[in-house]
Chains A and B, each alone.
Chain A
Amino acid sequence: MKYLMFVCTDTEPDPDTATHPDVETWVADNDANGRRLDGSVLGPADSATTVRVRGGELLVSDGPFAETKELIVGFDLLECADLDEAIEVARAHPMAYAGRLELRPLVDLPGSA
């Protein structure tokens, strides 16, 4: 299964006191074992641009589509056998200690395989 892992800061940060894992090592490990297909840090929220079409008209505005204190600061696309494997990958990421990670399965649409 493919999972998109959102890397998020916490609404009320309470970072774990343990030593956080190193992100470079995490990327290198999971690139090597084939579980990380892609990923990147995202630009700051104020660099976001929102695009909508309403009544046939293009509406472009600056800023993210939703104002939240919790920010998505990056993403990784994972290829894992199941949720347990994805959780194992996520728990080794430094932002599991400093913020939070959200695992969202990608939906296999019929005929897209």
Chain B
Amino acid sequence: MTDTRPTAAAQAAAVAGTESYPRIVAALIRVTGDWALAEDCAQEALAAGLERWPHDGVPANPGGWLMTVARNRALDVLRRASVERRKLRDLAVLALTDGPDDGPGEGEDLVDDRLRLVFTCCHPALRLADRVALTLRTVLGVPTADVARALLVTEATMTRRLTRARTRIRTAGIPYRVPSGPALPERLPGVLAVLYLLFTLGHDADGEPAFADEAIRLTRLVARLMPEQPEVAALLALLLLHHSRRDARRDADGTLLTLDRQDRSRWDAAAIAEAREILAGLPDGPYAWQARIAACHATAPSTAGTDWAAVAAGYDALLRLHPSPVVALNRAVAHGHAYGPTAGLRLLAAARGDGELDGNAHAVAAEAHLTARYGDAPRAAQLFRRAAELAHGPAERRALLDRAAELVP
């Protein structure tokens, strides 16, 4: 390919970078054991591609080109640091074993490097916030400044935090490996939780929209690499269903719209179809049930036309499998739709029984919605205003205040 148009070349670099970045970083970490070096060299390779391809044309194998540049850069740095001969030799053959379609390597190298990287970044011996930050930075190549903004800290703080986390991986002896045997089912939920959290960072009312796409891309990759783990596929289906509503979630002014107010023709039908196809063959599991519930919503013609009994039954199953105050809250809302506001308010009171939902904006908003449907408008408006006080972001707050104003003009 000899496309010399600058925009096409830049686009090719972006695509190749997105596809290749985690592979390059993961391979360099495996061989050198140096996280910072791996990330720096991968970044530099991307920058080189962006600079040279508009003039020289896009290479036939952009991923391989980037890997070679990154590897050579790492070799330079390590030679200067006079690193042991074995590491240099391993690095020198890297491009041969890590082509665009990984041929199986030797022994344990059969495991995809990128999967190793995900499991290491999501290790429970790292703080949750650090797991999220490392996954964004190291696996997805998100610039440190963007990671910092999403996690509400300064770039300097984030740089320090990432450095500390990488150091901890080395000093605490956190392995660069996908756990096997009984350890895998123990560790997988933690990895999925980080992927879900990444998605929420993008999906949240005041979040960074691009992160939602990134989270789906990574979940898709993990699902492909672990076809024997149905909960990964279930998470992918769940994220696709949530994400299918991205274009309908706000009105022209950017105000968040609840499900009942969204223009359902703007939901992404292709994403919904893909999710349903994934779900069709999956066994029960926490994410499978969440995705089935989301699918009930995604395929309903309207709020009134939703199969609320199926949604309520889904939450019953989910609560048995994975009890949590938030699941109990959502179950109360679903029962409220299926069996009337009184049933919903009763379950909501039970869900709040242990105090874990105290000060939770969603719980107060749910009570407000149920109270409005019960017919007590003044009380409902008061609750919407209270929920707005507790809400986290401005978009969410505005939506709740609007509801209060509609009830009591």
Contacts and interface: CB of A to CB of B under 8 A. Distances in A.
A23 B329 CA distance: 43
A105 B172 contact: yes
A73 to B, nearest CB: 23
Using C-beta atoms within 8 Å of the partner chain, give the interface range for chain A.
Answer: 10 to 19
B100 interface: no
Nearest to A104: B172
Contacts of A48: none
A1 interface: yes
Contacts of B171: 105, 107
A20 B177 CA distance: 30
Contacts of A88: 183
A59 interface: no
B227 interface: no
Interface string B141-182: 000000000000000000000000000000111110101000
B221 interface: no
B172 A84 contact: no
B109 to A, nearest CB: 17
A77 interface: no
A81 B172 contact: no
A34 B179 CA distance: 21
Which one of B173, B175, B177 has the highest number of Cβ atoms from chain A below 10 Å of its Cβ?
A: B173
Chain B facing A: main interface SS: loop
A31 interface: no
A75 B276 CA distance: 53
Interface in A50-90: 80-84, 86-88
Contacts of B179: 84
Contacts of A6: none
Interface in B65-105: none
Contacts of A107: 171
Contacts of B123: 83
Contacts of B405: none
Interface in B87-134: 123, 125
A83 B177 contact: no
Nearest to A85: B175
Nearest to A1: B173
Chain A facing B: main interface SS: mixed
Nearest to A105: B173
A108 to B, nearest CB: 10
A84 B174 CA distance: 7
A4 to B, nearest CB: 12
Nearest to A107: B171
A1 to B, nearest CB: 5
B72 to A, nearest CB: 29
A83 B171 CA distance: 10
Contacts of A1: 173
Nearest to B171: A105
A83 B174 CA distance: 5
Contacts of A86: 173
A37 to B, nearest CB: 16
A86 B175 CA distance: 11
Contacts of A103: 172
A86 B174 CA distance: 10
B183 A83 contact: no
Nearest to B180: A84
A74 B174 CA distance: 24
B117 to A, nearest CB: 15
Contacts of B177: 82, 84
Contacts of B173: 1, 3, 80, 82-83, 86, 105
A87 B123 CA distance: 12
Contacts of B172: 83, 103, 105
Which one of B174, B175, B177, B179 has the highest number of Cβ atoms from chain A below 10 Å of its Cβ?
A: B175
Interface in B181-201: 183
A88 B173 CA distance: 13
A80 B172 CA distance: 12
Contacts of A83: 123, 125, 172-175
A92 B172 CA distance: 20
Contacts of A84: 174-175, 177, 179, 183
Interface of B: 123, 125, 171-175, 177, 179, 183
10 contacts: A1-B173, A80-B173, A83-B123, A83-B172, A83-B175, A84-B179, A86-B173, A88-B183, A103-B172, A105-B173
Given A84-B175, A105-B172, 17 more contacts: A1-B173, A3-B173, A80-B173, A81-B175, A82-B173, A82-B175, A82-B177, A83-B123, A83-B172, A83-B174, A84-B174, A84-B183, A86-B173, A87-B125, A88-B183, A105-B171, A105-B173
